[in-house]
Chains A and B, each alone.
Chain A
Amino acid sequence: MTDLTHLQRLEAESIHIMREVVAEAEKPVMLYSVGKDSAVMLHIARKAFYPSPPPFPLMHVDTTWKFQAMYELRDRAAKEAGMDLIVHQNPEAKEQGINPFDHGSVHTDMWKTEGLKQALDKFGFDAAFGGARRDEEKSRAKERVFSFRSANHRWDPKNQRPELWKLYNARKSKGESIRVFPLSNWTELDIWQYIHLENIEIVPLYLSQPRPTVERDGLLLMVDDDRFPLEEGEVPEMKSIRFRTLGCYPLTGAVESEAQTLPEIIQEMLLTTTSERQGRAIDHDQAASMEKKKQEGYF
């Protein structure tokens, strides 16, 4: 017997899911956030359709506040995969100068939640791949692989379709769209192991390096560009840091670390004691905040 390893089985399942979407959806798109999960998802997409390039575009719903290093990798990765890259920035947020320093949660609402809805409507995509995993937090654990959104992009957790065997029901009513999560059954450790095994390029920010930082509200933030408004007396301090999760740089907390290689990251992760979402400001509000955000259309 061959006994496939857990990573081989997870990869094969993700490939199966992606092919089902391409066979059944009219106009799929892959949401690409440039993070480690996106990197794995893109890598698997290349495998799923080889020797064809993945038959859908990549789309980055940009907030203009991502780390510079993310923008660099984004353009290169799309090109290497032979895929079109769509970058969408919410024009209203742009016009109003919405930013994470002055606007708090409005920033996430407008750039990400609204931006995503706009982009899907604008291009008429009926199925969007996302890199979310069920181990990320509690409400995700109950979300289906094929997750339906109403015409208003709302998620109704009480009315989800049962998913049996490998059979996904991709039929949608008028106006509905599907979010598909091919990495549903992966854990953070699986993702890192796979990146290591497959030698997948990731944003260097995941690896530790001396970087300019300030500490705010318990989060260790990196001063990524000169848009970072320093408060009086605040002087960026060089610290050896890395990120376990990447989002908008003013909202993403770093951890102090000496891990400069993937095995060292995995080592740190296995010995560490805080979950990866703790680095994100979005989850801290209340226990059920992610569920609420998702009902409103956040990915």
Chain B
Amino acid sequence: MSDADVIYKTDVLIAEDIDAYLDQHHNKSMLRFITCGSVDDGKSTLIGRLLYDSKMIFEDQLASLEADSKSMGTQGQEIDFALLVDGLAAEREQGITIDVAYRFFATEKRKFIVADTPGHEQYTRNMVTGASTADLAVILIDARQGVLTQTRRHSYLVHLLGIRNVILAVNKMDLVDYSQDRFDEIVADCTDFAKSIGMEEFMPIPISGLKGDNIVTLSDTMPWYSSSEYTGTTLINALEEAPINTARMEEAKFRMPVQWVNRPNLDFRGFSGQVASGRIHPGDAVRVLPSGKTSTVKEVVTFDGNLDEAVAGQSVTLTLNDEIDCSRGDVITLADEPVEVADQFEATIVWMTEDEMLPGRPYIMKVGTNRVSATITEPKYEVNVNTTEQLPARTLGLNTIGVCNIATDRPIPFDAYGDNPDLGGFILIDRMTNQTVGAGLIHFALRRAHNIHWQAVDVDRDAHAAQKNQQPALLWFTGLSGSGKSTIANLVEQKLHALGKHTFLLDGDNVRHGLNKDLGFTDVDRVENIRRIGEVAKLMTDAGLIVLTAFISPFIAERRMVREMMPEGEFIEIHVDTPLEVAEQRDVKGLYKKARSGELKNFTGIDSPYEAPENAEITVDTVALSAEEAADVIVARLLGS
């Protein structure tokens, strides 16, 4: 029996007493880790080696591996372990790993889930994804190359995501003659920059993934590694002994985000969720956030019977002794250890999509089991992940990381990411494409979120409206340049004014020259332009006015943002519908001509998109109707409804 057999499988025990073997194996723990390294650091080879040594590779796979190694491999006649893990056809042809892949193997003590993430530059998002669920990180370094820019980046990201156990695997030792000096040199380099990013410790191990040195057993090739200067630990041994996050989270304060209210009949109302941290028992006094209501735990219910205790990591259903409001998105805590509740935060954000982040645009934010609308109010700086230098930033692009202020549309329960990743990690989702566009880590609530309270006013919006004897509304005209928005809005205002209504028209002239004169025509500025107009319009409707706005407002997302600022029914979207050809033919201000000649950039309809409304309250067809007729239609609809 080889040494590898002892570590991975006690074949004798399996053969002679399977029941004893199973008893032993039902009680394994599980460790999730991520491997990160640069393109040629030998990550895939190392993972292939771990699978191979743990016999997770079967004969038929091995046969096809051997055949593939000869036709596509890079190791001559030898087995190319990398081919085992390079899954998708495209990347097998290109010889690179392009996405996060999850791999599994087990030793006598533990089951392991490995997130294999690519090393090249453009894939920061994949590494962050893989690291988000990892208990430990293995950072690979090619012994010939030493510490590279990528090594710094990987270390920074690992540290950012809060991974406390880091193994520095100095790989390809066989190619530097198993040199102790080379190993020492690399470790010294790493120690320096680990300190600079705040990483407290890491465990360096000299290995060869290809030859198997110091993976399962200590290799004869590096006798120096067993001396007292070093840990003398093999990679497998280090993986088996590392602490697991859920175990650490058990000692933290109790938190359970509510996933689902379990209500099979009128007599049972339970709150289902996975315990994020801490422990809970029947009888414990609990608090539900954000409401702050308290009760005590009646039962910890599971299919396998009620429990005396539930701990971090377990999925359970809690019943309470009082009928209190509690639903998906709420967090249950111990009564005297509540989570914070706030609606403004500072957070680190990792941007994960081609379209750049737009401050001011509302994104969907998912944190715990909560889903809210969130806007990035202020990017503070971008972090150069290679140097950790802070750079000024107005936005974030694909695979960049920055620190931003973020505001949610209502207060949410949270913990700082460093205290509790389940309650401090979030994703941002684009409302149009539904893609996950960013991920974030909450640092803390902004103090103003705690301190600014809405001043309750005695003369409220209802009083303002009653005095004017009208229903406030925001008539939002949207359409291409030259569609006739301003003309029609003007006519509508005249007609309403004549009818004794109190109105105000916001258009390009009175807004662009004053309130928004600092804004240009980039996507970021267009979003901010609309946000400010929306806020001003909202204040005016609070004052009881009927507000008319005439802006191209090309993006659905921003129009929706304004709609959501307003009370139900007060936002009336009016699509001034004119085909591009017609608007361009009219070209009242000569702008289309300039845009076509390239003189004018970012012109809506030409080199910047116009997203037509899907469900506008009113649509007027300016080809069929004159401006007068269109205005009459709108006034009739407004006062008729």
Kindly identify, within residues 206 to 238 of chain B, every residue whose CB is under 8 Å from any CB belonging to chain A: none
Are A165 and B425 in contact (CB-based, < 8 A)? Answer: yes
Question: Which B-chain residue is minimally distant from A273 (CB atoms)?
Answer: B59
Q: Provide the A172-214 mask, 1 if CB < 8 A to any CB of B, else 0.
A: 1100000000001101011001001100000000000000000
- Nearest-neighbor residue (CB-CB) of A267 within chain B: B18
Chain B nearest CB, measured from A156 CB (Å): 11
Q: B-side interface residues toward A, CB under 8 Å?
A: 9, 11, 14-15, 18-19, 21-22, 25-30, 56, 58-61, 64, 68, 85-90, 92, 98-104, 106, 110-111, 113, 125-126, 128-129, 132-133, 244, 246-247, 250-251, 259-260, 262-264, 268, 270, 272-274, 301-304, 311, 313-315, 317, 328, 352, 364, 366-367, 369, 421-422, 425-427, 429, 433-436, 439
- List residues 1-55 of chain A with CB under 8 A from any CB of chain B: 1-13, 15-16, 19-20, 22-23, 46-53
Contacts of B272 in A (CB 8 A): 19, 48-49
Other than the given A7-B26, A142-B88, 14 more pairs (CB < 8 A) read A4-B29, A6-B110, A10-B30, A23-B260, A157-B99, A162-B126, A167-B426, A169-B436, A172-B434, A187-B106, A272-B58, A278-B58, A287-B64, A291-B89
Inside 8 A of A267's CB, which chain B residues have their CB?
14-15, 18, 21
Checking A5, A138, A158, A196 against B87 with a beta-carbon cut-off of 8 angstroms, the contacting residue is: A138
| Contacting pair A171 B429 (CB below 8 A) | yes
Q: Do the beta carbons of B250 and A51 come within 8 Å of each other?
A: no
Does chain B have a CB within 8 A of A66?
A: no
**CB distance B102 to A184 under 8 Å?**
yes
From residue A288, how far is it (CB to closest CB) to chain B in Å?
A: 4
Q: Taking the nearest CB of chain B, how far is it from the CB of A165, in angstroms? A: 5
A212 to B27, CA, bound (A): 39
Chain A min CB distance to B574 (Å): 24
29 of the cross-chain contacts (CB-CB < 8 Å) are A1-B247, A2-B247, A3-B29, A6-B28, A11-B315, A12-B274, A19-B273, A49-B260, A51-B270, A52-B263, A139-B88, A141-B101, A142-B87, A157-B90, A158-B90, A161-B436, A162-B128, A162-B129, A162-B427, A162-B436, A164-B132, A169-B434, A172-B434, A184-B102, A267-B21, A270-B11, A270-B14, A287-B64, A291-B87
CB of B369 within 8 A of CB of A23, answer yes
B110 and A23 contact, CB distance less than 8 A: no
Bitwise interface map of A from 102 to 141 toward B, beta carbon under 8 Å scored 1, else 0: 0000000000000000000000000000000011001111
Structural contact, A47 and B302, CB atoms closer than 8 A = yes
Q: Are B427 and A169 in contact (CB under 8 A)?
A: yes
| Cβ-closest chain A residue relative to B59 | A273
Q: Determine if A68 is an interface residue (Cβ-Cβ < 8 Å).
A: no
Among residues of B, the one whose C-beta sits closest to the C-beta of A137 is B87
Across the A-B interface, the 10 shortest Cβ-Cβ residue pairs: A6-B30, A138-B87, A15-B315, A288-B89, A47-B303, A52-B264, A275-B58, A171-B434, A164-B132, A50-B303
How long is the Cα–Cα vector from A290 to B573 in the complex, in angstroms? 48
Q: Is A91 an interface residue (CB 8 A)?
A: no
B152: min CB distance to chain A, Å? 22
Decide if A171 touches B15 in the complex (CB within 8 Å).
no
A190 and B111: CB pair below 8 A? yes
> Which residue of chain A is the closest to B15 with respect to CB atoms?
A271
Nearest-CB distance from B449 to chain A (Å)?
22
The answer to whether A164 and B304 have CB atoms under 8 Å apart is: no
A5–B19 Cα gap in the complex (Å)?
18
A216 CB–B CB distance under 8 Å: no
- CB of A193 within 8 A of CB of B26, answer yes
Contacts of A15 in B (CB 8 A): 274, 315
Number of A-B contacts (CB under 8 A): 206
Contacts of A139 in B (CB 8 A): 87-89
Of chain A, the residue at the smallest CB distance from B57 is A275
Interface flag for A75 (CB, 8 Å): no
Is residue A86 contacting chain B, with contact meaning CB distance below 8 A?
no
Which B residues touch A3, using CB under 8 A? 29, 244, 247
- Residues in chain B near residue A171, CB distance under 8 A: 364, 429, 434
Among A4, A134, A185, the one with the most B-chain Cβ atoms within 10 Å of its Cβ is A4
**A264 contacts the other chain (Cβ, under 8 Å)?**
yes
Q: Which of A2, A22, A184 contacts B260 (CB 8 A)?
A: A22
In the complex, A161 Cα to B550 Cα: how many Å?
37
Q: In the assembled complex, which residues on chain B have CB atoms less than 8 Å from the CB atom of A263?
A: 18-19, 22
Docked-complex contact A51 and B262, CB < 8 angstroms: yes
Chain B nearest CB from A157 CB (Å) reads 6
- Cβ B60 vs Cβ A185 within 8 A: no
| Distance A5 CA – B109 CA, assembled complex (angstroms) | 11
User: Which residues of chain B are within 8 angstroms of A275 by Cβ–Cβ distance?
Assistant: 58, 60-61
Most chain A CB within a 10 A radius of its CB, from B85, B87, B268: B87
A274 beta carbon closer than 8 Å to chain B: yes
Q: Does A166 contact B (CB under 8 A)?
A: yes
Out of B68, B110, B315, name the residue touching A48 (CB < 8 Å).
Answer: B315
A264 to B16 CA separation, bound complex (whole angstroms): 11
- Measured CB to CB, the nearest residue on chain B to A184 is B102
User: What residues of chain A lie closer than 8 Å to B128, measured between beta carbons?
Assistant: 162, 164
Distance in angstroms between the alpha carbons of A271 and B429 in the assembled complex: 47
Q: Which of B27, B364, B436 lies at the interface centre, i.e. has the most chain A CB atoms within 10 A of its CB?
A: B436
Interchain nearest-CB distance for A2 vs B (Å): 5
- Indicate whether A152 reaches chain B with its CB closer than 8 angstroms: no
Q: Mark A250-281, 1 if CB is under 8 A from B, else 0.
A: 00000000000001101100111111001000
Q: Are B14 and A164 in contact (CB under 8 A)?
A: no
The answer to the question of A215 belonging to the interface, with a C-beta cut-off of 8 Å to chain B, is no
**Which listed residue, A165, A266, A272, touches B18 by the CB 8 Å rule?**
A266
Q: Which of A4, A8, A51, A197 meets B268, CB within 8 Å? A: A51
Task: Tell me the complex Cα distance, A118–B260, Å.
Answer: 30
Rounded to whole Å, the gap between the CB of B327 and the closest CB of chain A is: 10
Task: Give the docked Cα–Cα distance between A35 and B244 (Å).
Answer: 33
**Contact call B19/A142, Cβ cutoff below 8 A:** no
- Smallest beta-carbon distance A104→chain B, Å: 21
Q: Given A138-B87, A167-B366, check contact A185 B102 (CB 8 Å).
A: yes
Chain A residue numbers with a CB within 8 Å of B421 are: 165
How many angstroms between the C-alpha atoms of A140 and B88 in the bound complex? 9
A2 touches B58 (CB 8 A): no
> How many angstroms between the C-alpha atoms of A9 and B541 in the bound complex?
53
Give the docked Cα–Cα distance between A11 and B9 (Å).
Answer: 24
Given contacts A142-B99, A287-B64, contact A9 B18 (CB under 8 A): no
**Given the complex of chains A and B, what is the CA–CA distance between A202 and B247 in angstroms?**
33
Q: A225 in the interface, Cβ–Cβ < 8 Å?
A: no
Inter-chain contacts of A11 with B (CB < 8 A): 315
Q: Find out whether the CB atom of A274 lies under 8 angstroms from the CB atom of B260.
A: no
Complex interface: chain B residues within 8 A of A272 (CB): 58
Q: Kindly provide the distance from the CB of B25 to the nearest chain A CB, expressed in whole angstroms.
A: 7
Q: Is A163 an interface residue (CB 8 A)?
A: yes
